[in-house]
Every structure is written in C-alpha cells, then in structure tokens.
Amino acid sequence: MHRTSGILLHPTSLPGPYGIGDLGPGAYAFVDFLAEAGQGLWQMLPLGPTGYHDSPYQCTSAFAGNPLLISPELLRDAAWIDADDAAPPDFGAAPAAADRVDFGAVHRHKRALLKRASATFHANADAVARAEYAEFCDAHAGWLEDFALYAAIKETQAFRPWTEWPEPLALRDPAALARWADDHAPDIELQRFCQFAFLRQWRALRAYANARGVWLIGDIPIFVAHDSAEVWTHRDWFNLDASGQPTVVAGVPPDYFSATGQRWGNPLYRWDVLAADGYRFWVERLRQALELVDLVRIDHFRGFAGYWEVPAGEQTALDGRWVPGPGMDLFDVLFAALGERVDGGLPLIAEDLGVITEDVIALRDALGLPGMAILQMAFEDTAFGEPRFLPHNHRGRMAVYTGTHDNDTLVGWWAKLKPELRDRALAYLRSDGREIQWDFIAAALASVADLAVFPIQDALGLGSEARMNRPGSAGGNWRWRLAAGQLTPEIAGRLGDLSGLYERTPHPSA
C-alpha cells in the first residue's frame, strides 16, 4: 500500500476519432494528464470483450481482452494496416456521437479493420514478429484456443448465446467441433490475432504508465457471464441443467440501488468441483489479471464468504438465500500460487459494499485486504447509508471513492439529495456548496485511507448526463465518453495541488 490517489475512467470513455476510446494516443495522453496532476492510479472496469448490453461485467471471456480497445493508429504504426484503413470512420446513418459509444457501429468497423490487419500480419510479418506471436499463442493456449473457437462460432451464429447454437456445437460434440474448426480456420485465427494485438498494445501502455509513476487498477467480477467461453467449455464448473441453462443464478437482496434486489443472472459456481481441481480457474484468472494491471479490485468480494442464490425462474432477487462461499480455502491456494508477486501478499482491493456481515469482514481482515468506502453513501438516509464511510471512520488500509461506476456523478447525486441531507453534508465538510464536487474530492484526499479514487466525471463537475451505469436498467449504459479538450491543465493543476497538500504522491517510476 502506498498513500496515493487516482482516477476511475474506463478506456472506452477516452476521447478519440474512432467512436470509442482505445489504447492509442488518447490513452497515452490520459496517462500524461494523470502524471501532470500528481496522480498515481488509473482505475478501470473489466477489460474483457463485452456481451449482454455491452456491460464490462458480462464479458464473453474471463481471460480475453476487448478487441474494441485495439487502436487503429497503433496498428498503422506497426504496418499492419495502411493510412487509408486508419482514417477515422464515417458511421453514416448511425454516427457515434462524440460523447457516446455506438457499440454496434464501432464493432462493425473494428471487425473489418482487424480482419485486414490479421491478413497483413500473417502475410508480411518478419521473423521477430512471428516468433512473438507464436510465443503468445503458446503461453496463453490454456484459454486462448477455447475462446478463439467460441468467439469464431459466435460470429457465424449472429452472436446468439451458445445455448441457441446447433446442439452439436452448443454441447461441444468433439467431432462436430473438429469439423467446424477445419472449415473455419481463418475465423479462428482472426480471434487469436485480435488477442495478440490487444496484449501487445496493452503491455506498451502499461509500461508507459508505470514509467510515469501511474499504476493500473483492474477489476475482476466474481462471477462470469452465462454466455461466455468458460461456461460453454466447462459446464461442469457451474450449476446448469442438461441443456446448459442455469438452475440458480447470482444476485443480491434489496440494496442501495434496488428495493427488489438485483438479479444479475450469472450462473453460480459449483465450488466443490473447482476445489477438487485446485481452483485452477481462479489461479489462472488472477494470474492473467496481474499480467495486465498492478492492482486488482475484486468485485462483489462478499460472495467469497457467502453469496445470494436465486432460483433461475425468479424474475427478481427477492426470493433467494445465502449460501456459504469458498472462504479462506480459495485464498490459501491463490496466495500459495501467486503470493510471491508482492512479498507474500496479493495486490487486491476487496469491493466490500452491500450487505456486509461479520464473516465478510473477518475474511477481508484475515487476508489483510483494503476494503472500500463510498462518500456518497455516507450521507444517505436509506437503510444502506453507511456511517462507516464517513471520513473520520476510515482506516489506513482502505480505498475511498467519491462514487463508483454504479453511482450517479457527484453533481448529479447532489442535485437530487434531500435538503436536510445536503445541510448535514455541508456542515460535515465545512462547505458552502458552490463547488461541492471539489469538497468531496478534498475529503477523499484528506482521508487516512491509503488509496483515494474518484471518477473523472467528478473532477470535471459533470451532471447525471455523464453517468456510466444505472444498476437495474438494461440499456443505454456504459456509453459515456470524454470530449476532446475536457482534461485541461487547470484541472490537472488543481488535482495536483490538493493531492500534494494531503501528501498523496505517484508511485516511484518504474
């Protein structure tokens, strides 16, 4: 742990000319902004290829990177596409607004671009690049081959869930899969190349960030999407019926965001089966995450102590039950396999929000993991308002946030807050309310918590129009983007001054 601070911004929200943020110049410019602002952390959402409603928490793979993040400009610089291919697209009748991602239009454009890049690479790559590609394929074969096959089939099936594919493919008949793979070898090879290009660009960006004193915080959802390569490949790991449909699904009981709870719909693990295999899936999943980032936020950490099991036929999460999770047994294995990475520990942040019971706190503290505090929630009057989130109740081993991707922006939340709660917050913060977002940011930075993180929307003072996600709503989420020029030297200077005042510093440069 290091007393530092940073910004939450998913790469898809970066500005740029291709309809979506990516790993190209916009990402490098954001790292420069963080360094100029004296920030040592860049936190992002899960980086996998998105499926259902474009949610990064419903990825089609627990291991793969999102091809939509691959930068056309960096493909051009590698001579895998030409200058004409790298020209900003014209989305025609479905333009991608500058402040919103049109995922459908972007996907169609990127897929055609990556197909050309793959063909050029395989035709023209020199011996060094070919060796690098072969090494990548060999090192990641444990997940890459299954994912490449799954993703290639999915494209030919109009992106329908795997349970709607022809039965021999859905249920992985070996002969049918072998025939399909022989007939579609170029499609499978394209998926391998996309993952190679993603990881190559990502490694360069991470090295650049670390050299500027910026560490990357990634995010692992505890559960995986039903429509994913892992569930398709390893049905025995999950509670599924004979056709592959979940019998029980994940969710949470009534909480801060929903009076009927949240029915996420993810299939639940058969933890006994995973344990019998030495938790190999989780060991490799965390190993892959630590190849990409410096710290990992474990989403819904409380599920390791106990999780909310909802019968698959229920429409809400009200009629569920708590079921014990794997607890310390899983983490003993993870620490034994990966703990040497950080002097015997693991660089994890426990997302310990929601209904938190003593067993969750005991597991978190036994592992020595920082939990989270959300300042917005500290001033609510609901049953889920959290006095422990008030700054005077913080601990050193903690990450404090003004809000998360699931919250409204600070300014949007403040506009809807009851007057009596505003008065309480103003008195607590000693604020006149004129720049309430900066008062909350200052409170986070002044906290004794080692880590302080705030969404970029809060630093910019943006309202509800810039919200990233509304839990419980199915459409229109995850689309918000920064506009070019919003990250000004004035914002960087103000962040730098506050961070310096409260003795938060970047990490030593790598």
Active site residue 406: yes
Query: Cα separation of 44 and 22, whole Å?
Result: 13
Kindly list the distances between the CA atom of residue 36 and the CA atoms of 3, 213, 505, in Å, as whole numbers in the listed order. Answer: 17, 11, 11
Q: Which of 255, 351, 439, 458 is catalytic?
A: 351
Torsion of CA 145, 227, 14, 295, to 10 degrees: -70
Neighbour order of strands in the sheet with 41-43: 348-350, 295-299, 215-221, 41-43, 4-8, 451-455, 398-401, 371-374
Crossing angle for the helix pair 419-429 and 436-446, to the nearest 10 degrees: 50
**261, 317 Cβ separation under 8 angstroms:** yes
Query: Cα separation of 510 and 493, whole Å?
Result: 23
Sign of the alpha-carbon torsion through 407, 412, 416, 417:
positive
Establish how many alpha carbons lie within 13 A of residue 301's alpha carbon, considering only the half-sphere containing its beta carbon: 26
Q: Which of 54, 146, 299, 439 is catalytic?
A: 299
Active site residue 497: no
**154, 160 Cβ separation under 8 angstroms:** yes
Written as six digits, the tokens of 192 are 């391998």
Query: Cα separation of 431 and 435, whole Å?
Result: 9
Query: Cα separation of 247 and 312, whole Å?
Result: 5
Task: Compute the chain's Rg from CA coordinates.
Answer: 23
Residue 491 one-letter amino acid = I
Query: Cα separation of 499 and 40, whole Å?
Result: 10
Which residue is listed with tokens 């959290």? Answer: 386
Nearest to 31 by CA among 509, 392, 464: 509
Enumerate residue ranges in the chain where pLDDT < 70. 92-97, 340-344, 382-386, 510
Active site residue 465: no
Query: Cα separation of 27 and 451, whole Å?
Result: 22
Kindly list the distances between the CA atom of residue 171 and the CA atoms of 100, 246, 267, in Å, as whole numbers in the listed order. Answer: 38, 14, 17
Report helix, strand or coil for 262.
strand
What is the 3-class SS of 283-342, one letter each residue? Answer: HHHHHHHHHHCCEEEEECHHHHCEEEEEECCCCCCCCCEEEECCCHHHHHHHHHHHHHHE
Say which DSSP state 111 is in: H
Q: Where are the beta strands (DSSP E) in 339-474?
A: 348-350, 371-374, 398-401, 451-455
Written as six digits, the tokens of 271 are 């933890």
Name 127's Cβ contacts closer than 8 Å, sequence gap at least 6: none
Domains of the chain, by residue range, sit at 4-501
Nearest to 34 by CA among 8, 15, 13: 8
Kindly list the distances between the CA atom of residue 184 and the CA atoms of 171, 178, 270, in Å, as whole numbers in the listed order. Answer: 18, 10, 33
Residue 163 one-letter amino acid = T
What is the homologous superfamily of the domain 4-501 according to CATH? Glycosidases (3.20.20.80)
The structure's pTM equals 0.96
Written as six digits, the tokens of 102 are 């049109």
Query: Cα separation of 369 and 349, whole Å?
Result: 6
Give the pLDDT confidence score for residue 92 in this predicted structure. Answer: 64
Burial of 217 (0-12, 13-18, 19+ CB in 10 A): buried
Nearest to 258 by CA among 381, 401, 357, 354: 354
Written as six digits, the tokens of 183 are 């007939």
Give the pLDDT confidence score for residue 95 in this predicted structure. Answer: 47
